[in-house]
Amino acid sequence: MKKLILSIAALALIVVACQNNSDEAIPNQEAAVDMSDFYVYTSNSDVSAKSSTEAKNDKCASMKVLNQQLRDNPGLENRMFQIEKHTREFIAAKGNSSGKGKPGGGTTPPPPTAYVGTINIPVYVHVIYSNSAQNISAAQINSQITVLNNDFNDTNFSNVPAEFQSVGADIDINFTLNSANIVRHSDATASWGTNNNVKTKYPPVAGYLNFWVCNIGGGILGYAQFPGGNASTDGVVIGPEYFGSSDFTSGYFSAPYDKGRTATHEVGHWLNLRHIWGDGRCQQDDFVLDTPSSDGPNYGCPSYPTVNCKSTDMTMNYMDYTDDDCMNMFTLGQNDRIRAIFASGGARESFVQ
Ligand SMILES: [Zn+2]
């Protein structure tokens, strides 16, 4: 959307001065990165920017959960700031073949080194059920892995409008699930809410992308934790009827969210992607250059073009709120953000070490 990298030096100076509160020389890398538009807090009302009826349809609770975590954990905002700074340094170095910042004094830290090639993410699935329907089959669980691998390895964007075809991205992540890493728990809890209680009771296993498949309630399909959060709550929670795809198996499904795109969207958050409308009006950003501005989420299966903020909404992006069947792309800019967290010093670098 907006400019990300090339900044007015004075602006970077102010940001750095506020952050460090010191008189130290500004390292070159700091001067190359503009953090002036960075924010992590979004009030719940911002999500429903387009109309009041949409407030009832906030199907993803990731930002709400993040806001609660920011209130509970004063160190989290700084950790997310540092992750964002690292991401922007990575993208800045990518756009500058010398990999160096502006000339100046002080020690220049090397820019993050990219991980090149397929990223392999082992998956762990916790199924927590209070009735037999919620105890979804292995076939339904495996169909979700198929969807993730399809969506994160997409190379054909002929199905998206011509306006967006050139920015479609193959993220090149391979998700693997060993059948031994599906664990099932019968539990009397009927609705788990979005307070991470399910993770406290059934803790994540380190070294995996953890999914908790359980009834959340309140019309919420799922929520994810962004990079930077506590390891004890890291992962993605999704309702059982939204996990997997009815294209590949029969099972417990709820259309129009029955094609596995809730997980694709939530894993996007887990990989540090924001909602495509930036969780605010036109001026709020998702920190991605090639996604157009939008003033709120889109629902259903919008006709093309849907115009907001003087540009065409990318309603088919996985980070919007449209129906599963009507989502089909990540962008090159989103891929850069994802790749950054696997680069040297990145928040999820351990997966590629
Ligand atoms: Zn979301």
- Cβ burial of 184 (10 Å; 0-12, 13-18, 19+) is middle
What CA–CA distance (Å, rounded) separates 342 from 149?
18
Give me ligand 1 centre to Cα 87, in Å.
Answer: 20
pLDDT tens-place string over residues 140-160: 999 999 999 999 999 999 999
| For the ranges 4-18, 100-114, 148-162, the one whose mean pLDDT is highest | 148-162
Give me ligand 1 centre to Cα 266, in Å.
Answer: 6
pLDDT tens-place string over residues 189-205: 999 999 999 999 999 99
Give me ligand 1 centre to Cα 61, in Å.
Answer: 6
What residue type is 205 in one-letter code?
V
pTM above 0.85, yes or no: yes
* Beta-carbon count within 10 A of 5 CB: 16
Residues annotated as part of the active site? 266
The pLDDT of 204-219, averaged and rounded, is 97
Give me ligand 1 centre to Cα 224, in Å.
Answer: 8
Answer CATH for 119-352 from 1.10.1670.10, 3.40.630.30, 3.40.390.10, 1.10.20.10: 3.40.390.10
What is residue 14's predicted lDDT score, i.e. its pLDDT?
40
Phi, psi of 211 (to 5 degrees): -110, 135
Asked if pLDDT for residue 286 goes beyond 80, the answer is: yes
Asked if pLDDT for residue 43 goes beyond 90, the answer is: no
Give me ligand 1 centre to Cα 238, in Å.
Answer: 12
Q: Where in the chain is the domain with CATH 3.40.390.10?
A: 119-352
